[in-house]
Amino acid sequence: MNPIISLSFIDYLILAAYLVITLVVGYALKKYMKSSEDFFLSGRSLPSWITSLAFLSANLGALEVIGMVANSAKYGILTVHFYWIGAIPAMIFLGLFMMPFYYNTKVRSVPEYLKLRYNEATRGVNAFSFAIMTLLMSGISMYAMALIFRMMLGWSLTSSILLSALVVLIYVFFGGLSSSIYNEVIQFFLIWLGLLPAVYVGLKAVGGFSGLAARLPETFLHAWKNMGSAAANPMGVDWMGVVLGLGFVLSFGYWTTDFLVVQRTLASENISAARRTPIMAAFPKMLVPLIVVVPGLLAVAILPEYSLALQGSATPDYNSALILLLAHYLPNGVLGLAITGLLASFMSGMAGNVTAFNTVWTYDIYGTYIKKNMPDKHYLMMGKLATIFGVLFSIGTAYIVQSFPNLMDYMQLIFSFFNAPLFATFLLGMFWKKATPWGGFFGLLSGILMAAGHYVLYKLNIIHYSSEMAANFFQAWWAWLTDFGVTILVSLFTRKKAESELKGLVYSLTPRTKGSEMFWRRPEVWGSIALIVMVILNIIFW
Amino acid sequence: MAGEKRSSHFFDLKIPLGFLLSFYGLLLLLYGLFGPSHIYGKSLGLNVNLIWGIVILAVGSLFLGFAHFRQKNSNQIVKKD
C-alpha cells in the first residue's frame, strides 16, 4: 500500500524532537519518585493549569480526534453534542459537587471511595472491571495508531506498536503519573498547533464559515433544529436520546467516575485547585470542535469522496477524513507538526490508561487481595512492575482488537457497560445516606448485567434502533436506570452503615466549608460562567 | 511558608515545553525562509511554515519568559526569608 503522506527530513526532525523531550522529561522526573503517592498521584502537588490541561487531554486522544472528525464528516454539526451538552455539565458537576468527596477523603482511586462508602465487594467489582477496561483501551489506541501510521506513512503495524510501547514504557516507568500528565500538557499544545493551520487554510479555501455553510446540506448545520425525531437527522437519534443517553448518563458516567480522568484531579496541590481542574478544563473543551468538527465539515465540502457520499453514491472510509485533509492542505514542515501532534495524543492516550491501570492494580487489587500492609517502598516497586506488564498486556490487546471492525462503536460499548451504571452507584452513594453497602454492590452488578443483556438483545435483532449510536445511548440509559433502581430496592431491605462511618462521604453528613478565596478564584463562579457560555454556543449553532 | 508549599516538588513544566515550542518555531521559520517554495501550492500559496513558525516561536518564548520570571520571583522570596 502506498502511503498517503510523504514526510521529508524536517518532518522527521520535528517528530524526533518530541520523542527526545518526552524521554528527557520522564527521566528528569525519576528523582522525585520517592513514595507511592509521588508515583501514582504526583505527590498531590500539581498546579491547576497543569491538571486542567491534562484532564482535558487525557480525553483528547488521537482515537477521539480521528473518530470525531469522522463523526462530523458523517453527521455534521451534531457532533458538537459530544463536546457541549455531552461534557460540560458533567465536568462542572464533578468540580462543584463531587470533588470534595474525592479529594478530602484522601482516597487514592475511585474504587477506594467505593470501599469507604459501600464495601470491599463493591470496590472489587469496580477495580477488576476498570483494570480490564484500561488495558483494552490502551490496546485500542496502540492498534489505531499503528493502523494510521501504516496508512499515512507506510510503517509496519508491528514496528509502530513496538516503538510507541517502548517510549511510553520508559517515561511512565520513571516518572509515573507526573510523566503522563506532563506529556498530556505537551500534547495539548501540539495537537492544537498541529491542526489549526489545516483548519485555517481549509476555511480560506472555501471562503470562510459562510462559504463552508453554503457547500453543506441543511441537516449538517444545526445542532438541535432537526432533533425532533430520529428520522429527521443524519445521526438517527432524537433529542431524548441525546439528553438522557449522552448528556446525562454517558457523560456524567465518564467524566465523574472514570478513574482515568479523576486521577488527574487528585494530583492537584489543594482542594480548591482540585475543584477548579475540571471547571477550567471546560473552557478549552468547548473550543475543541474548532479542530475536530470543522475539519470534518471541510472534508465533506472539499474532498470529492465525502461530498459524493451525501448523495448516497459512495461509502467512504470516514476514519481517514482527517488524514486526507492534512495531506491536502499542509506542506512539509507544518505537516510534520500535525503528525507529531497525532503521535503525541496516541501515546498520551496509552500512557493515561497505563498509569490509571498501575494505580488501581497496586492499590485496589494487589494491595487489597494479594499483599496487604507492606511498606510503601514495596508498593512503589509494584507500581513500576505493573507499568511493565500493563504495557506488555496492551501490546497483546492491540493484536486482539484487530478482529473488531469498528473501533469507535467498540469504545462506546465499553463505556456503556462500565461507566454508565457506575454513575448511579456514585450518585446514590454521595447524595442518599440510606444507600446500603449491599445495595451498592447488587446495584452495580445488575447495571453491568443489564448493559450486557441489552447488548445481546440488540445484536440478536430483538430490540431495534435507527442507528448504532442510538443503541449505545439507550443501552447506557437502561444500565443506569437498572443500577439506580436495584440499589434503592436492595437498600430498603439490607443493613445501613452507621452515620458516623459516612462522615465526609455523603453530602448531607459533610460539613460545608465556605471558600475564603477571592470571587475570581471560586469554582462556583467559573462553573456558572462555563454553563452560560455553553448555552450561548448551543443557541448560536441551534 | 515557602518551604512547606509542595508545588516546588517537581520541576517547572514550562521550561521543557517552552524549549520544545521555541525549537519548533525557529525550525519552521527557517524552513519557511530558506526551504523550497514550490511546496506551498498546497496551502493556496501561503507560506504557512513562516507564519506558523513565528506564532509557535512566540508561544514558546512566552512559556520560557514566564518560567524565568517565576524563578526570579521565588529566588527573591527565599532571599527575604
pLDDT in tens, A223-234: 677 676 666 676
Is the sign of the CA dihedral A78, A79, A82, A88 positive or negative? Answer: negative
CB pairs under 8 A between A and B: 94
* Percent of chain A residues topping a pLDDT of 70: 94
Check pLDDT > 70 for residue A161.
yes
Give the Cα separation of A352 and A316 in Å (integer).
31
The DSSP output letter for A398 is H
Give the Cα separation of A219 and A340 in Å (integer).
34
Least confident piece of the model among A90-99, A235-244, A428-437, B42-51: A235-244
Give the pLDDT confidence score for residue A523 in this predicted structure.
81
| Averaged pLDDT for residues A94-122 | 87
**Mutating which of B4, B14, B22, B24 best tests the A interface, going by the most A Cβ atoms within 10 A?**
B24
In a domain, A507, yes or no: no
Give the Cα-Cα-Cα angle A235, A325, A214 (nearest 5 degrees). Answer: 60
Q: Which residues of B touch A46 (CB under 8 A)?
A: 7, 10
Least confident piece of the model among A14-18, A213-217, A482-486, A493-497: A213-217
pLDDT top residue among A213 and A190: A190
In a domain, A532, yes or no: yes
Check pLDDT > 90 for residue A533.
no
Least confident piece of the model among A28-32, A210-214, A512-516: A512-516
* Percent of chain B residues topping a pLDDT of 70: 77
Give the Cα separation of A76 and A226 in Å (integer).
12
Check pLDDT > 90 for residue A487.
yes
Residue of A nearest to B40 (CA): A331
Q: Which of residues 273-302 of A touch B (CB under 8 A)?
A: none
In a domain, A436, yes or no: no
Alpha carbons within 13 angstroms on the beta-carbon side of residue B14 total: 16
Residue of B nearest to A267 (CA): B7
* Cβ–Cβ under 8 Å, residues A349 and A67: no
In a domain, A497, yes or no: no
In three-state form (DSSP H/G/I as H, E/B as E, the rest C), the secondary structure along A309-351 is HHCCCCCCCHHHHHHHHHHHHCCCCHHHHHHHHHHHHHHHHHH
pLDDT top residue among B3 and A368: A368
> Residue A44's domain is classified under what CATH number?
1.20.1730.10
Give the Cα separation of A397 and A137 in Å (integer).
9
A68-71 CB contacts, 8 Å cutoff, 24+ apart: A68/A292, A68/A293, A68/A296, A69/A292, A69/A293, A69/A295, A69/A296, A69/A299, A69/A321, A69/A322, A69/A325, A70/A296, A70/A318, A70/A319, A70/A321, A70/A322, A70/A408, A71/A296, A71/A318, A71/A408
Give the pLDDT confidence score for residue A407 in this predicted structure.
66
SS3 A419: helix
Rg value, chain A, Cα: 23
Give the pLDDT confidence score for residue A230 in this predicted structure.
66
| Averaged pLDDT for residues A187-213 | 87
| Averaged pLDDT for residues A14-33 | 88
State how many domains chain A has: 1
Give the pLDDT confidence score for residue A424 in this predicted structure.
92
In a domain, A70, yes or no: yes
In a domain, A500, yes or no: no
Query: Cell match 525557529: residue?
Result: B26
Give the pLDDT confidence score for residue A79 in this predicted structure.
82
- Compute the nearest-CA separation of B68 from chain A (Å): 17
Least confident piece of the model among A113-117, B14-18, B38-42: B38-42
Chain A contact present for B66, CB below 8 A: no
Taking only the tens place, the pLDDT of each residue in A302-321 is 877 777 777 666 677 777 88
- Compute the nearest-CA separation of B23 from chain A (Å): 9
Please give the single-letter amino acid code of residue A38: D
* Cβ–Cβ under 8 Å, residues A251 and A20: no
Residue A268 pairs with which residues in a beta bridge?
A: A46
Give the pLDDT confidence score for residue B3 in this predicted structure.
35
Alpha carbons within 13 angstroms on the beta-carbon side of residue A379 total: 25
ipTM: 0.85
Give the pLDDT confidence score for residue B20 in this predicted structure.
93
User: What cell was used for A513?
Assistant: 466549608
Range of the domain at A96: 9-217+263-287+327-402+512-540
Give the Cα separation of A173 and A181 in Å (integer).
13
Residues A416, A418, A419, A420, Cα dihedral to 10°: 50
- When pLDDT is cut at 50, 70 and 90, the band that residue A515 belongs to is low
Give the pLDDT confidence score for residue A102 in this predicted structure.
85
Give the Cα separation of A326 and A338 in Å (integer).
8
In a domain, A111, yes or no: yes
Sequence-distant (≥ 6) Cβ neighbours of residue B54 within 8 angstroms? B25, B29
Give the pLDDT confidence score for residue A490 in this predicted structure.
92
Give the pLDDT confidence score for residue B79 in this predicted structure.
47
**Closest alpha carbon to A164 in A140, A182, A188:** A140
Give the pLDDT confidence score for residue B8 in this predicted structure.
46
- When pLDDT is cut at 50, 70 and 90, the band that residue B22 belongs to is very high
Element (H, E) at A20: helix A9-29
pLDDT top residue among A408 and A413: A413
SS3 A268: strand
- When pLDDT is cut at 50, 70 and 90, the band that residue B4 belongs to is very low
- When pLDDT is cut at 50, 70 and 90, the band that residue A486 belongs to is very high
**Mutating which of B33, B52, B64 best tests the A interface, going by the most A Cβ atoms within 10 A?**
B52
| Averaged pLDDT for residues B15-23 | 91
Check pLDDT > 90 for residue B24.
yes
**Closest alpha carbon to A134 in A53, A188, A58:** A58
Chain A contact present for B11, CB below 8 A: yes
Give the pLDDT confidence score for residue A39 in this predicted structure.
83
Check pLDDT > 80 for residue A461.
yes
pLDDT top residue among A246 and A442: A442
